[in-house]
Amino acid sequence: MSGHVPVVIVGGGQAGLSMSWSLKEQGVGHVVLERHTVAHSWKEDRWESFCLVTPNWQCTLPGHPYAGDDPTGFMVQDEIVEYVESYAAAFDAPVHEGVAVTSVEARGVGSDPAANRPAGAARDSSTAPSAADVVDGVLAAAPEGYVVRTTAGDLTCDAVVLAVGGYHVPTVPRMAERLPATVTQIHSSRYKSASPLPDGAVLVVGSGQSGAQIAEDLHLAGREVHLAVGTAPRVARTYRGRDVVAWLHDSGHYDMAIEDHKEGLGARHEANHYVTGRDGGRDIDLRRFAAEGMTLHGRLAALDVDGTATFAGDLKRNLDMADAVSERIKDGIDAWIAAHGVDAPEEDRYVPVWEPEDDGGALVDLHAAGITTVIWSTGFRSDWSWVKVPAFDGSGYPTHHRGVTSVPGLFVLGLPWQHTWGSGRFAGVARDAGHLAPRVAAVTAAATTAG
Ligand SMILES: Cc1cc2nc3c(=O)[nH]c(=O)nc-3n(C[C@H](O)[C@H](O)[C@H](O)COP(=O)(O)OP(=O)(O)OC[C@H]3O[C@@H](n4cnc5c(N)ncnc54)[C@H](O)[C@@H]3O)c2cc1C
């Protein structure tokens, strides 16, 4: 890697490729830098029985909509990887695999003259802009492009698109350090299947998309499962004769901008609703699992060094809340059906199939309960520390509107709820890439004129 390229896209997942396709349409020169291989997170960070939760017809990458024979089905892992890899091949995306971006720095700003040093020259530890160049978190002057430092050399460019997904670093609570060494512990992103885990019961901590599906996977494999149930909501797979996703699509839910969401920008950080596409798609009903022998607890509140786990007494509340969200979504569908006079079959509402005997608060001796593995399904956090540009808010989240950050020439793509529900998914990344492409092109055109 050396020299100048108009645009550097960081990340070779579906977002980076969508940006690449859209820039190619605009005739804008660019490279895609991917530290592993195309579709890495679908290959490596999912489990063996993984399948999409969203129906295949929602896979609408720009220029590459799902073309298989099961649009209402849910692709399994290999099919998803093939879908993304064949996309890169279809338009000969200029991807450089095995190239990690180690820093992105704005050129022409900062009192440190090193910021203007040509790519590849020796440098000291800081080329970040000084405080004097930053006004209310926005660069006072537009940067004169960027220096992108990589494990394969440095590049300069006019614009950078960060398409590195929204799930950077697995989050594991520090109480994990107190687990006895005899207990195996992994994060959900490292879970593959039940078989490599030691014999014995498994405690899954967290009931979001990953936790609920992994608990089901273990349960179906005949494992004894304990699940610490958190506050994630759930959604029914089907209602009144159709996939709930189809109703929400028709009712315009997926076109709603984040600014119009009742949770506001906070929706970006909410847990996803749990449901599955497994075996053609079905509900995930934790109460049914309990009736079939899974042990449900409230939230995991503490771990003691002697191997005692303390669960909070919020199991009933969390189960009720998840069901209430699911029923509210059905209320919305009913209202939409009525308002539009749609002919749809009636359907009885959900009746809980199991109730906890108590509030789920308990002290459990992991050893006595035969628990040999803990799976932390506790989500991810962002790490943008390598982006040395003042484009972040107090929480470290990029300040942007529809992916256009507060620093000219710096863009983000593929973040959960970046613009709509589908932004961080297959469903909405085309719209977002289409929005950004002319804006990125304008930056490169301005740089060409100025240069
Ligand atoms: C468990 C789970 C289930 C999901 N299920 C669905 C679903 O059913 N339907 C759906 O539409 N979406 C789903 N998603 C959401 C989303 O589609 C995926 O997260 C998807 O991988 C996002 O694509 P992306 O390109 O934005 O990010 P990623 O796929 O994460 O790609 C980013 C790429 O950037 C690379 N990268 C990161 N940092 C650097 C760097 N410094 N230098 C170079 N390369 C770098 C990474 O190696 C990675 O390949 C799911 C997500 C998760 C976690």
pLDDT in tens, 317-338: 999 999 999 999 999 999 999 9
Q: How confident is the model over 396-421, as a mean pLDDT?
A: 95
- β-pairing, 101-106 vs 64-65, is unpaired
CATH for 171-379? Answer: 3.50.50.60
Q: Which residues line ligand 1 (CB under 6 A)?
A: 10-16, 33-36, 40-42, 52-54, 100-101, 163-165, 167, 209-210, 386, 414, 424-427
CATH topology of domain 4-167+382-450: FAD/NAD(P)-binding domain (3.50.50)
Nearest ligand 1 atom to alpha carbon 16: 25
pLDDT at 61: 98
Nearest ligand 1 atom to alpha carbon 413: 26
Ligand 1 centroid to residue 295 C-alpha, Å: 31
Cα 397 to Cα 138, 269, 352, 394, 445, distances in angstroms: 14, 11, 39, 7, 28
Q: Are 31 and 3 in contact (CB under 8 A)?
A: no
Where would I find the beta strands (DSSP E) of 46-106? Answer: 60-61, 64-65, 95-97, 101-106
Nearest ligand 1 atom to alpha carbon 41: 29
Q: Are 277 and 54 in contact (CB under 8 A)?
A: yes
Ligand 1 centroid to residue 424 C-alpha, Å: 8
Which of 52, 164, 275, 418 should be mutated for ligand 1, with most atoms under 8 A from CB? 164
Which of 35, 41, 64 should be mutated for ligand 1, with most atoms under 8 A from CB? 41
| 192: region left, alpha or beta (phi > 0 left; psi from -120 to 50 alpha) | alpha
Q: In what order do the strands lie in the sheet with 184-187?
A: 184-187, 371-376, 201-205, 225-228, 295-297
pLDDT at 118: 40
Q: Are 104 and 389 in contact (CB under 8 A)?
A: yes
| Rounded CA separation 86/373 (Å) | 37
**Which value, in Å, is the radius of gyration of the alpha carbons in the chain?**
24
pLDDT over 70 for what percent of the chain?
92
| Rounded CA separation 179/95 (Å) | 42
Residue nearest (by alpha carbon) to ligand 1 atom 21: 41
Residue 433: name the closest of 31, 62, 54 by CA. Answer: 62
Residue nearest (by alpha carbon) to ligand 1 atom 34: 11
332-342 burial code (b ≥16 CB/10 A, e <16): ebbebbeeeee
pLDDT at 131: 52
Q: Are 187 and 172 in contact (CB under 8 A)?
A: yes
Q: How confident is the model over 423-428, as a mean pLDDT?
A: 97
Q: How confident is the model over 261-290, as a mean pLDDT?
A: 93
pLDDT at residue 14 is higher than 90: yes
pLDDT at 435: 97
Ligand 1 centroid to residue 40 C-alpha, Å: 8
pLDDT at 360: 72
Residue 301: name the closest of 359, 370, 358, 361 by CA. Answer: 361
Which of 19, 34, 58, 150 should be mutated for ligand 1, with most atoms under 8 A from CB? 34
Of 220-224, 442-446, 447-451, the least confident: 447-451
Residue nearest (by alpha carbon) to ligand 1 atom 9: 54
pLDDT at residue 128 is higher than 60: no
Residue nearest (by alpha carbon) to ligand 1 atom 45: 11
Ligand 1 centroid to residue 419 C-alpha, Å: 16
| Rounded CA separation 355/319 (Å) | 9
Q: Are 94 and 72 in contact (CB under 8 A)?
A: no
Of 21-30, 61-70, 106-115, the least confident: 106-115
Residue 2 burial (10 A CB sphere; 0-12, 13-18, 19+): exposed
Ligand 1 centroid to residue 41 C-alpha, Å: 5
Indicate the pLDDT class of residue 115, thresholds 50, 70 and 90. Answer: very low
Could you tell me which residues are beta bridge partners of residue 202?
Answer: 225, 373
| Rounded CA separation 397/391 (Å) | 8
Q: How confident is the model over 67-91, as a mean pLDDT?
A: 98
Ligand 1 centroid to residue 327 C-alpha, Å: 30
| Rounded CA separation 418/11 (Å) | 16
Indicate the pLDDT class of residue 269, thresholds 50, 70 and 90. Answer: confident
Q: What is the pLDDT of residues 144-195, one digit of tens each?
A: 899 999 999 999 999 999 999 999 999 999 999 999 999 999 999 999 999 9
pLDDT at residue 122 is higher than 60: no
Which helix (H) or strand (E) segment holds residue 10: the answer is strand 4-10
* Parts of the chain belonging to CATH 3.50.50.60: 4-167+382-450, 171-379
Nearest ligand 1 atom to alpha carbon 99: 43
Nearest ligand 1 atom to alpha carbon 427: 11
pLDDT at 447: 87
Q: What is the pLDDT of residues 353-368, one digit of tens each?
A: 999 988 777 899 999 9
| Rounded CA separation 188/185 (Å) | 10
Ligand 1 centroid to residue 18 C-alpha, Å: 13
pLDDT at residue 125 is higher than 50: no
- β-pairing, 371-376 vs 184-187, is parallel
Q: Are 158 and 20 in contact (CB under 8 A)?
A: no
| Rounded CA separation 389/146 (Å) | 10
Which helix (H) or strand (E) segment holds residue 319: the answer is helix 315-340
